[in-house]
Structure 1
């Protein structure tokens, strides 16, 4: 079976060059190094060494993450999403959360896909379940989270992502049964573009992708794209981590985000919204803060709240749905992040 979205096996070098130009040249990374060189030359070498050693230490997890993303793109496994939104409401909510939390998707993004789902009549409840779980976890994120923050943290974040999806979908379902949240999309919103094609006309995965030259090319392109993306963000994150460890007093972190109370978790939940800028880059930063005294629950709150309601994601959601849906999305995101982070905190104290 031929997938028209697949690249042709011939002129791949141009595509790779495009990917390299897109991911290059890390202006923020170089600018920070330049500022460090001018202000504190002695910190330049330790910061560069930290970036290099951190990338080497995480290389096995990075390799697995890249291969998983490339495999999903080459086989078309992301087309299985369409099967998550059929059946009884409760089953659709659970399957929507599973699809969002466990499956990798194309770079078209979750927002256009959500627009497509709603436009073709999929109920808002399972879409909300998918919506909440999708930014928090996928197989690649699980591998890198386990490598940076530990397997226990990665498992807990996965369970929280699924739980957030099921909880949000259930709340939306109950609100709709009570007569609320009709016609969730804003006027003039399209049907999702290329993201919606996977829902409207799904094609079966081709597990033996190496038998089709176009899918082999797709595998290589996805691997290259993922490698360049992760290398860029993780390099920047490890650089910021080195500076954080050098200049941020551990006592301040411990006083603000440490301890056993609920205040550090609440602070991390609120700070996560404006401060979170990328799920992969956030991992080393949270790891550094936890090494300096940040409690695990606060770290989880930052990742959950920031992952679901980061400013770019919130702006996209605001443009997509009506205010009542947006307000409920924010309330579920922040409330769920705080509640699940508190539960995780007490679990780590056992």
Structure 2
């Protein structure tokens, strides 16, 4: 309980800011403007979202409210998928720390992997959406979904000073309360599960599973990274030690990318927001992209 409360307090500034922005956008009608900003060429939207995710200063917890807000505003799922796949893997502070622990080449490779994974995931989702497979990705009660959604199609006036309108003020309070309850509920569960993992999964077990070199450790690291990745910063010295003991660099990258994308807070948030087929697609893209990233990095390192 102490671990959960501490982490909720640490992420509170992100939550408060994101909840306020989402509620303000809904009360003023600016959510329609934000959603329409993501219309146009799917390739451009996906590329921008992946780049923004790869360099954004959000941790996997801090990005959750933003993902929820974007989906609720009717932003196309392909662009949101590109953002949420790339964002948990890398941020400016993580780049600096990765450089210090594993070297600048590893940090650059991880950044490229983050953006590449976002683009790959966004394209896959876009193609499936065009084929009609993801027409209604959101769970009931979370936004109004669809690739475009009614917020993009309908045009409503924006009232920036919403507090002069009682109806809009009431909507601001309703949206803020709804978003707060939704996020606190799922984040509490996420941090509770993370604390149990820290208590019950020995680091030595991860070390034994990821040791060795060759192609097999890359696949093992990708699979093990999903349940065993406990914290992005704590994982760096673990991977550094394993590489020092002979683990292939590609396996280390796969472990960090797979664990970053599917960290408990991020994965639980996606589970809460989207329907099961979309969640399964998210996990599948994360695993496939993580394995490919590690394999490509290993081939480059062996040249």
TM range (shorter): 0.5 to 0.7
Count of matched residue positions in the alignment of Structure 1 and Structure 2: 222
Aligned residue for 1:150?
A: 103
Shift in CA distance, 127/107, structure 1 to aligned 2, threshold 3 Å? closer
Shift of 1:105: 3.5
Query: So what's the TM-score if we normalise by structure 2?
Result: 0.66
1:47-196 → structure 2 map (5 Å cutoff): 85-105=38-58, 109-189=62-142
Say which of 316, 320, 328 aligns to 2:281: 328
Aligned residue for 2:260?
A: 307
Aligned partners of 1:290, 1:166: CA distance in 2, in Å?
A: 28
Aligned residue for 2:30?
A: none
Query: Quick check: 1:282–1:303 contact (8 Å CA) kept in 2?
Result: yes
Q: What whole-Å deviation, never above 9, does each CA across 1:274-324 have from its counterpart, x for those lacking one? A: 110111111111111111111101100100110111233222211210011
Q: Does 1:259 align with 2:213?
A: yes
Aligned residue for 1:71?
A: none
Instruction: Say what the alpha-carbon RMSD is for the aligned residues.
Output: 3.2
Residue ranges of structure 1 left out of the alignment (5+ in a row): 1-20, 24-81, 192-200, 204-242
Q: Return structure 1 stretches of 4+ with deviation > 6 angstroms.
A: none
Q: What whole-Å deviation, never above 9, does each CA across 1:33-79 have from its counterpart, x for those lacking one? A: xxxxxxxxxxxxxxxxxxxxxxxxxxxxxxxxxxxxxxxxxxxxxxx
Residue ranges of structure 2 left out of the alignment (5+ in a row): 8-33, 145-157, 161-201
Aligned partners of 1:319, 1:153: CA distance in 2, in Å?
A: 33
Shift of 1:108: 6.5
Query: Quick check: 2:138–2:275 contact (8 Å CA) kept in 1?
Result: yes
Query: So what's the TM-score if we normalise by structure 1?
Result: 0.57
